[in-house]
Structure 1
Amino acid sequence: MEINTLTLLHYKNFESADFTFHNKINCLVGNNGVGKTTVLDAIYHLSFGKSYFNPVTSQNITHGKDFFMIEGTYQRDQREEKVIISAKKGQKKMIKRNGKNYDTFSEHIGFLPLVMISPADRDLITEGSDTRRKLIDGIISQNDSQYLHELLQYNKVVSQRNSLLKYFTANQTFDATTLDIYNEQLHQLGSNIFEKRTEFLTEFIPVFKQRYEAITSGNEKVSITYQSKLQHIGLSDLLKNNLQRDRMLQYTSVGIHKDDLDFTIDSYPIKKFGSQGQQKSFLIALKLAQFEILKQQNKVTPILLLDDIFDKLDEQRVSHIVALVNEQKFGQLFISDTHAKRTEEVIKNISASYKLFELS
């Protein structure tokens, strides 16, 4: 799958811009703040219906304007596809594919498979469990619409249960029958989600380890461990056992919305004991594993966006990454960098045709 053209109108720092891309490698170079990352973000936006960096729609509109529009033309399964995303202040964002509106954004997820690697990914290591759950949920959802539906339903029921717990406290009352209805819904949905996460990680983790070993020549041992209380007890019993705690806290304190992933290097938390280069290698391996899994599942080669990935990496790691993305399994590639010379040297090592965009 490839994106052929991109048109931006009033999107972030672009008043108006048009791009025609190479079908293999596209390099976006220039100083910080000229819009390299914005171009990558616009391509991401077309795949996922939201910005990679700022999910608040109105904040993606050029200052002083009241709407934005992103249009992309793609080649997918030997067919041309046109996707348009537009948003106006105070109105609902719209996604159109070949001139037709989607009823819900979730219908679009997975149609344009894409993987983005960015310095912002460091949040996966430094921030809370929510960011790591979103990573695996996002990968699974791109190929499993039922999983996405169950996840959305689960989160809705959690919100309803939390409202009920607050109502109990505010009105000094308690209704076990109504609470049991929510508990049963959470048990059914949460158990399915837990099983799919477990199944996915069983496949994903070995691929991730292979990618990391390829980047580092196998000098370091990394691991990912899934942490979920459902590994030891069913969700229905878990909710019952924590009822008094939930009533006191006035929210649902247990369930798959509290699951986490432990990232380790040589058996130690990478957050505390990993260098910047090791952490970046870890994150790149995560995303390259994501790429591989998506390609296997969708039978479509995702677009790969590399935003400033060569920063904070030594030459050896850079050369290993270049060797990886030079493999035939990779399709269309986008690279952004502040150093045009460094980027061109990397591309020459790949020995592939490319197109260079110098932004100013």
Structure 2
Amino acid sequence: MYLQHLSVINFKNYAEAELAFSDGVNVFTGNNGAGKTNLLDAIHYLSLCKSYFNTIDSQQIKQGTDFFIINGTFERNDAHETVACSVKRNQKKLFRRNKKDYPRLADHIGLFPLVMVSPYDVSIIMEGSEERRKFVDNVISQTDNRYLDELITYNKILSNRNALLKSIAETGRFDPGLLEVLDEQLVASGTRIFEKRKDFMESFTGIFNQYYQFLTDDVEKVAMVYESQLLHEGFAALLNKSTGKDRVLERTTTGIHRDDLLFSIHQMPLKKFGSQGQQKSFLIALKLAQYSYLQQQKGFKPLLLLDDIFDKLDEHRITKLMQLVSNHEFGQVFITDTSAGRVTQIFNRINVAFKLFDVQQGEVSPI
């Protein structure tokens, strides 16, 4: 699978742009703020129905206009498929595949899988557990749309249970039967999510370790461990034990919404003891493992988007990474960088063909 053609109208800092891509490596170069990352985000929209950086669609509309449109043409299995996304202020987002509207946007997720690597990914390491759960959920959702439905169901039940706990605290009226019903629903949904996450991590961790070892020549020892309360005790028992605490705190304190990934380097927390280069290598290995996992599950190669990838990496790791993503294991790749000269030197050194685009203040043209 690869993206042949992209066009945008009134998207972020672009009034209009139309591009044709190589099925191999495509590179956008230009100064910071020129709009390189915005092109990657447009591609992200086509795959996952949303921006990678900002969940508010209306904020992606170019200033002074009322709408944006993104169109793309993919080739997959020797067939062409069109995807279109349009957003108009104060109206519902429209998404079409082959000129047909989707009943639900969730039905599109996973059809055109994509992996993005961005400087913003450092939040996976530095921020709270929600960021790491979102990473896991994003990967699984691109391979199983029922999982996405299950997440929506779980969060609705969790919200209802928390609302009931607040109501009990405010009114003093406690209906154990109603709480029991919500508990049963939460256990059923949460257990299904837990099993899916556990199975995913069992296969994903090994893939991640292979990529990190490759990028660092196996001189650094890192670990990624899935942590869940449900690994130690059944969900129903956990909820039963925490009922008193939950009533005091007016929220549900146990469940898969507390899951986390523990990252370490040389048996020490990566967040505190990893250098910027080590953290970036960790994140890149994480995303390459995501790519490999998606490819295994889908049976074809996703898109790979690398935003500002060369910052904080030494020359040796940059070369190894470019050699890796340019070989036959990976498909179409999109890269942004501020220096056309640096990119040209890297790819000439490893003898890999690429298509170069110059980006200047919302204007883009092939070089």
- Match of residue 298 from structure 1: 298
Pairwise mapping of residues 84-233 of structure 1 onto structure 2 (< 5 A)? 84-233=84-233
- Match of residue 250 from structure 1: 250
Task: Please give the TM-score of this superposition, normalised by the length of structure 1.
Answer: 0.98
Task: Please give the TM-score of this superposition, normalised by the length of structure 2.
Answer: 0.96
- Match of residue 77 from structure 1: 77
- Match of residue 347 from structure 1: 347
List alignment gaps of at least 5 residues for structure 1: none
Cα pair 1:326 1:350 within 8 Å, conserved: no
Following TM superposition, by how much is the alpha carbon of 1:350 offset from its aligned partner in structure 2, in angstroms? Answer: 3.5
For 1:232 and 1:199, the matched residues in 2 are separated by 16
- Match of residue 357 from structure 2: 357
Which residue identity does 2:298 align to in structure 1?
Answer: N
For 1:263 and 1:174, the matched residues in 2 are separated by 41
- Match of residue 38 from structure 2: 38
- Match of residue 284 from structure 1: 284
Following TM superposition, by how much is the alpha carbon of 1:202 offset from its aligned partner in structure 2, in angstroms? Answer: 0.6
Following TM superposition, by how much is the alpha carbon of 1:168 offset from its aligned partner in structure 2, in angstroms? Answer: 1.6
Cα pair 2:24 2:326 within 8 Å, conserved: no
State the Cα deviation string for residues 215-262 of structure 1 (Å, max 9, x = none). 000000111011111011111111111112111222212100110000
Cα pair 2:25 2:333 within 8 Å, conserved: yes
Following TM superposition, by how much is the alpha carbon of 1:59 offset from its aligned partner in structure 2, in angstroms? Answer: 0.9
**Runs of 4 or more consecutive aligned structure 1 residues displaced over 6 Å after TM superposition:** none
Give the aligned length.
360
Which residue identity does 1:134 align to in structure 2?
Answer: K
Secondary structure in 2 aligned to 1:9? strand
Calculate percent identity across the aligned residue pairs.
49
Secondary structure in 1 aligned to 2:33? coil
Following TM superposition, by how much is the alpha carbon of 1:176 offset from its aligned partner in structure 2, in angstroms? Answer: 0.9
Cα pair 2:25 2:326 within 8 Å, conserved: no
Cα pair 1:133 1:260 within 8 Å, conserved: yes
Secondary structure in 2 aligned to 1:242? helix
For 2:326 and 2:25, the matched residues in 1 are separated by 10
Greater Cα shift, 35-44 or 337-346? 337-346
For 2:65 and 2:244, the matched residues in 1 are separated by 51
State the Cα deviation string for residues 187-209 of structure 1 (Å, max 9, x = none). 11111111111111110001101
Cα pair 2:117 2:307 within 8 Å, conserved: yes
For 2:164 and 2:89, the matched residues in 1 are separated by 33
List alignment gaps of at least 5 residues for structure 2: 361-367
Following TM superposition, by how much is the alpha carbon of 1:352 offset from its aligned partner in structure 2, in angstroms? Answer: 2.5
For 2:274 and 2:99, the matched residues in 1 are separated by 48
Cα pair 1:36 1:336 within 8 Å, conserved: yes
Following TM superposition, by how much is the alpha carbon of 1:170 offset from its aligned partner in structure 2, in angstroms? Answer: 2.2
Secondary structure in 2 aligned to 1:254? coil
Secondary structure in 2 aligned to 1:85? strand
Note if 1:12 corresponds to 2:12: yes
